[in-house]
Structure 1
């Protein structure tokens, strides 16, 4: 009888202690609709930013920035040469040598 009483008391104490250690559930019902929408928007935004960052990194790997800079330098050099020639032609058109 004593063993049964001891086992019952221990089981009751164990049950009371286990109830105190319960982890509360995170219910979706507690979150509002705006919170869900905001979280989804943040998720899509983060995904878009990460994708764009990956594209930028892949473009930097191709050294397109350097190629574009060289193209700009070559184009401006050629354009300034032809602009100088055009300026000389216009000057000689308006002020012919006598």
Structure 2
């Protein structure tokens, strides 16, 4: 809860800061036009944050993929496949027996 609150507060302050920069109270009162300034060619703060978060996300995905590949054991995979095939065979056998018993009960002798 505390982290969400701080994040929301930060975003509200960020929006208010941008709003204060784009609207000058003295220009509105006097009605004067401010000269249009060329925008700098450097990326904005939002773009920098997006690029930073994207790079962190990509590095986290690569780290997770690396850990998965390091811990992948072919013998464990083979054992899991064997257990799956044996368990599905057992379940299908018992499901067949159960179906036969149920049909015999419903039909009667």
So what's the TM-score if we normalise by structure 2? 0.51
More RCO (CA 8 Å, sep 6+): 2
Structure 2 unpaired stretches of 5+: 1-41
1:36 aligns with 2:48: yes
C-alpha deviation, 1:48, in angstroms: 1.2
2:85 is aligned, of 58, 65, 73, to 73
Pairs within 5 Å for 1:38-77: 38-61=50-73, 63-77=75-89
Larger Rg: 1
Q: CA shift at 1:70, angstroms?
A: 1.9
Deviations 1:67-96 (A, max 9, x none): 332222111111011111111111221223
Give the aligned partner of residue 95 of structure 1.
107
Provide, for residues 42-84 of structure 1, a one-character-per-residue CA deviation record: whole Å limited to 9, x for no partner: 2211111111211221342354433332222111111011111
Report how many residues are paired: 68
If the length of structure 1 is used for normalisation, what is the TM-score? 0.56
Structure 1: tracts of 5 or more residues without a match: 1-29
